[in-house]
Amino acid sequence: MIAENLYQPFEIEYRECSECPIDPHKHNFFEIVYIVEGNGIQCVNKNQLPYAPGKLFLVMPQDCHSFEVRESTKFFFIRFNNIYLKNQSKDWVQQLEFIFQNTNHQPGCILKNKNDKPLVKALVEALIRELVNQQPYHQAIAQQIVNTILMIIARNTLMDLPATHPLHGKQDTSMDILHYIHENIYSPDKLRAEQISAHFNISPSYLSEYFKRKNGDSLQQYITQYKLKLVETRLQYSTMRVGEIADELGFTDESHLNRIFKKYKGINPSAYRKGTISA
C-alpha cells in the first residue's frame, strides 16, 4: 500500500483523473476532498460509496483511502498536517477536536446541511482562483478559506448527531448525555454527577445506572477516557506543555495527568509525544 507524506504544513491541489484509479493509500496528514466534476466510487477503510459533483469528504490520518474513477473526475484536495494545527489558536484547535472525535471514518459526503453545499462550492471555487492566479497574499487568503471550510465540516458533524430530548422522554437519549459531556469537557464543575443529574432532572443514582447500562463504562470512566483522547490530540497537534494540558482539561496537576495517562495508555505523556513525532 502506498504511504503519502506532506512536506509542508498546508497545500491545495486541483487534479483531473480520467480512467486510472487512485490506488489505496494512507496519509500522515489530514485531507479534504471535494468533487468538482465526475463520478465513481470512494473507498475508506474497505467501505465503499459512490461519489458525485458537490460531495465533500474528510480523510483522517491512517485511513486507507482510494477512488475508482468511472467518469473523468476533477478532484480538489486540501491537505494539512500537525504543524499547520500547531500554528492555530488554542480555541480554534478545540473546535477541530470535535471533528476528530466524532468523524466515523466511513465513506460518504460529510455535508448534511443542504444550505452549506452551495457555500462550500463557492469557497472551493475561490480556492481554485487563488491557486491559479497566485496574486499577492494568496496563501494567507487560502488558509482563511480552508479554516472556514473546516468550521463548516464541524457544524455538519454536529448536525449529524442525534437531537436532544429530555432523558425521561419516550426516545433513547443516552447520546444526549454524551453530547453534554463533549460540550462541557473543559468545564469540570459541569461534569460532576450532581450537575449532570440536575441538567437532565434525574437522580444521581439513576444517572449512574442508566449511563453504565447504555454505554458499558461508568460515567467517570467515560469522562476520563474522553479527556485522554483530547490529551492525545494535544500531544500530537500542539506545542502545549503537559502541565498546560492538565490545567486545561481539569486534572489536579501534571503528576495527576501523568499517572492517569500511564494507567490507561501504558506510557507517560512525554514519551507518547516523542513516539508520535518520530513515527
Note whether residue 112 is domain-resident.
yes
Q: Which of 131, 159, 187 is the last residue of a domain?
A: 159
What number of other Cβ atoms are within 10 A of residue 148's Cβ?
14
Q: Are residues 35 and 154 in the same domain?
A: yes
pLDDT value of residue 277: 61
According to the model, what pLDDT value does residue 22 have? 63
Whether residue 165 lies inside any domain: the answer is no
Residues 152 and 252 in one domain: no
Amino acid 179: pLDDT: 77
CA distance 104 to 47: 12
Alpha carbon of 194 to those of 191, 199, 207, 216: distances in Å? Answer: 8, 9, 9, 20
How many domains does the structure of the chain reveal? 2
| Model-wide pTM > 0.75 | no
* 223 and 121 within one domain: no
Which structural domain range is residue 27 located in? 2-159
Full pLDDT tens readout for the chain, 279 residues: 555 656 567 788 898 888 655 666 666 678 899 999 999 998 887 788 899 999 999 888 777 888 889 999 999 999 887 667 767 776 666 666 666 666 655 667 889 888 999 999 999 999 999 988 888 988 889 888 988 998 898 888 777 655 443 333 434 457 778 878 888 888 889 999 999 999 988 888 888 888 888 888 899 999 999 899 889 888 887 788 999 999 989 999 999 999 999 999 999 999 999 887 655
CATH code, domain with 53: 2.60.120.280
What pLDDT, on a 0 to 100 scale, did the predictor assign at position 193?
92
Backbone φ, ψ for residue 121 (5° rounding)? -60, -45
Query: Does the residue 168 lie in any domain?
Result: no
Instruction: Mark which of 159, 185, 213 sits at the end of a domain.
Output: 159
Q: Whose CA is closest to 145, among 118, 131, 126, 132?
A: 126
So what's the pLDDT on residue 60? 80
Structural domain contains residue 182: yes
Answer whether 99's CB lies under 8 Å from 157's CB.
yes
Alpha carbons within 13 angstroms on the beta-carbon side of residue 40 total: 22
Whether residues 9 and 97 share a domain: the answer is yes
CATH number at residue 233: 1.10.10.60
pLDDT of residue 116: 94
Which of 159, 189, 209 lies at the terminal end of a domain, its last residue? 159
Question: Would you say residue 166 lies in a domain?
Answer: no
Domain assignment present for residue 164? The answer is no
HSE-up of residue 260 (Cα within 13 Å, Cβ side): 22
In a domain, 26, yes or no: yes
